[in-house]
Structure 1
Amino acid sequence: MSKVALFGAAGVIGQSIAAALSSKGQSYRVVGRSEASLRKAFGADPLAEITSWDPDSPSSVRAAAEGIDTLIYMVGVNYWQFELHPELMRKTMEGAVAAGVRNIVLIGTVYPYGKARTSLVREDHPREPHTFKGRMRKAQEDLLMQAHADGRINATVLRLPDFYGPGVEASLLHRAAVAAVQGGVADMVGPVDRPHEFVFVPDVGPVVARLVDASAAYGKIWNLAGAGAPTQRELVAEMARQTGAKLKLRVAGKTMLRLLGLFKPFMREMVEMNYLLTDPVIMDDSALQKLIGPIRKTPYVEGIRQVLGAIAKQQGIALKG
């Protein structure tokens, strides 16, 4: 087995990938800025090697990548600092090349596509981002794929839609799930009556674990779609059904996001990405399934059950049924 490192591992996607690797009995390295966060997340797994790094230090990047065959890149930045994405990718890639890393897998987003021209978006859909965040993510991808074209390293990108799952507090669905468990108002970002795709985080890890070993994956970009594209209102209704809660929705549209953004940078930055809720980007991942075989996709009913159960356990609340 090749040695794998997860850069930016402490987030929920990193933990999903680590769990998939561990279930195969494969050792892996987790790399992040905070050693304490890494030890909290992975310290109980004897297969995990914990390494902290400074992404602005070339020597630190190279040391974190030494002895690694495949680097899985998930390094995050603040939502209001997307200009850092291309530069962090460049620094990491240069350090990886210097350390002799053979492969890089970037966990990407739908942002580089821009507005969808088709009802289902395949990998050959034009990349014409009309937002700053989309342009920064496209620049990140371009740096990596150019390095592949130049023969410096093997590279691939796996694009994900929005995600949800147990412990995923950054999800659009999180506050509604909390309200369904403990009562209260479900705060949402709208519109909530348009189809929207979510991937269940525990489903991502097994896909990435298979992708890294597929030699034909490199040099290309791949989509991973969710288990369908319901509306947010339908998903909240399912939360209410499972808990018996009578939920009232409080929906923030683009105008409200602008007002909230006067006080919260994160909300301000959501304004330009609101098109993803008004003009859905729904992905086609048939190419990925042809490459690695059938993909397990947890149905939303079961995914929501797990999300609600995790929140209830954390808060010491007993759910019905």
Structure 2
Amino acid sequence: MAIQLVVGAGFIGDALARALVARGDTVRLATRSGTIVPGVTALTVDASDPDALAAAAAGVATIFLATGPRQYHRWPELWPPMYRAAIEAAHRSSARLVLMGNLYGYGEGSAMPMSETMPQHPTEPKGRVRAEGWALALAAQAQGEIEVVEVRASDYFGPGAGKSSQLGSAFFGPLLAGKTARIFGSATEPHSWCYLPDIVATLIAAADYRGPWGWVWHVPAAEPLSRAELAERVNRLTGEKGSVTALSPAFLGLLGFFVPFIRAANDSVYQFDQPFIVDSAETGRLLGVQATPWERSLPAVIDGYRAKAAQEVS
């Protein structure tokens, strides 16, 4: 029975910790606030502190770096110390390191679909800091200090995803009420969306992989759909008449002038104003992870938001 360290208890880290416990692993969960998850050992750790993280990682098989700075606009400042701390902790503990990543590093204008073997050409600050973090980890592996892989996912969705998710409560909430969801970017461009259980399955399969490390794994995504198409599917399942409308780029630009978080988000709007499609063939072939079809994931997500709304009312 392996001992695992999950760093971060957000949407992904929480689900990952629970899945590892469910399969019989011993799990330590490192967060700044000492978040408690049933069946998990809670540790209060600053993820940018290499000494504290190394102490938390003593004796573990894998470190899953599943956290990230909430201050979107401060990624270039806050991510590098977290990467360095995770690499140092993996080196000292001899644990393998699994990084939870995204697709920002491929940059605007990338060929579609984006494959695991594509080079990264980031075109904005958030993509650059993620690409630099991966390069730092790869350099540590090349020097024989660690073994590392990165699992990259497109925008996630799942029961309970909050307002920060492009396919979260701000999208599903209005639709389930028969109202209009106001979205960031185009409503009509096809986009790959990653279901939370598929992200967790890919992280675990990547950690268990006994082939070469120093590799990138893409989380499988079901058929690419625009948010207008998703709204139509939600309406068919619920009988509602919800709709989506894109927020004005001029409005977002003005808002970004005053709100740093929005300004940072505007740098990534290209991901929604053109097709943004992921290829995960190698993940399917070598890890055996397949995307959950929309026919299963979408009803589960709708049920999850309805259940949460019922709890809030009661």
Normalized against structure 2, the TM-score is what? 0.92
CA contact (8 A) 2:193 2:222 kept: yes
Correspondence for 1:203: 198
> What are the within-5 Å matches in structure 2 for residues 176-187 of structure 1?
176-187=171-182
CA contact (8 A) 1:79 1:266 kept: yes
Correspondence for 1:239: 234
Counterpart among 98, 111, 118 of residue 105 in structure 1: 98
Correspondence for 2:133: 140
CA contact (8 A) 1:110 1:281 kept: no
Alpha-carbon offset, residue 296 of structure 1: 3.6
Alpha-carbon offset, residue 250 of structure 1: 3.1
Correspondence for 2:60: 68
Shift in alpha-carbon separation, 1:147–1:284, aligned structure 2, 3 A: same
Shift in alpha-carbon separation, 1:127–1:93, aligned structure 2, 3 A: same
Pick which of 142-151 and 80-89 moved more: 80-89
Q: What is the one-letter code of the residue matched to 1:292?
A: L
Shift in alpha-carbon separation, 1:288–1:243, aligned structure 2, 3 A: same
CA contact (8 A) 1:113 1:127 kept: yes
1:145-192 per-position Cα deviation (integer Å, ceiling 9, x unaligned): 111111001011111111101011122122121012234321211211
Q: Secondary structure at the match of 1:261?
A: helix
Cα distance in 2 for partners of 1:56, 1:87 equals: 5
Correspondence for 1:16: 15
Counterpart among 276, 301, 304 of residue 298 in structure 2: 304
Q: Secondary structure at the match of 1:212?
A: helix
Alpha-carbon offset, residue 231 of structure 1: 0.9
Q: Secondary structure at the match of 1:239?
A: helix
Cα distance in 2 for partners of 1:126, 1:300 equals: 30
Counterpart among 280, 283, 288 of residue 288 in structure 1: 283
For the pair 1:25 / 2:24, whether they are aligned, the reply is yes
Q: What is the one-letter code of the residue matched to 1:57?
A: D
Q: What is the one-letter code of the residue matched to 2:33?
A: S
CA contact (8 A) 1:116 1:281 kept: no
Cα distance in 2 for partners of 1:261, 1:173 equals: 21
1:105-161 per-position Cα deviation (integer Å, ceiling 9, x unaligned): 101110111134422121221211111111010011111111111100101111111
Aligned residue pairs total: 307
For the pair 1:126 / 2:119, whether they are aligned, the reply is yes
Identity %: 28
Shift in alpha-carbon separation, 1:251–1:105, aligned structure 2, 3 A: same
Correspondence for 1:89: 83
Correspondence for 2:187: 192
Normalized against structure 1, the TM-score is what? 0.90
CA contact (8 A) 2:59 2:95 kept: no
Alpha-carbon offset, residue 56 of structure 1: 4.0
Alpha-carbon offset, residue 217 of structure 1: 4.7
1:51-81 per-position Cα deviation (integer Å, ceiling 9, x unaligned): 1102343432222111212101122112111
CA contact (8 A) 1:114 1:127 kept: yes
Q: What is the one-letter code of the residue matched to 1:13?
A: I
Shift in alpha-carbon separation, 1:128–1:305, aligned structure 2, 3 A: same
Correspondence for 1:168: 161
Unpaired runs of 5+ residues, structure 1, are none
Q: Which 4+ stretches in 1 moved above 4 angstroms? A: none
CA contact (8 A) 1:261 1:268 kept: yes
1:185-236 per-position Cα deviation (integer Å, ceiling 9, x unaligned): 2121121111001000022212221221112151111212311211110001
Q: Secondary structure at the match of 1:216?
A: coil
Q: CA RMSD in A?
A: 1.8
For the pair 1:230 / 2:225, whether they are aligned, the reply is yes
CA contact (8 A) 2:50 2:84 kept: no
Q: What is the one-letter code of the residue matched to 2:85?
A: K
Cα distance in 2 for partners of 1:217, 1:6 equals: 22
1:12-51 per-position Cα deviation (integer Å, ceiling 9, x unaligned): 111222232122122211111111xx21xx1x22xx1111
Q: Secondary structure at the match of 1:81?
A: helix
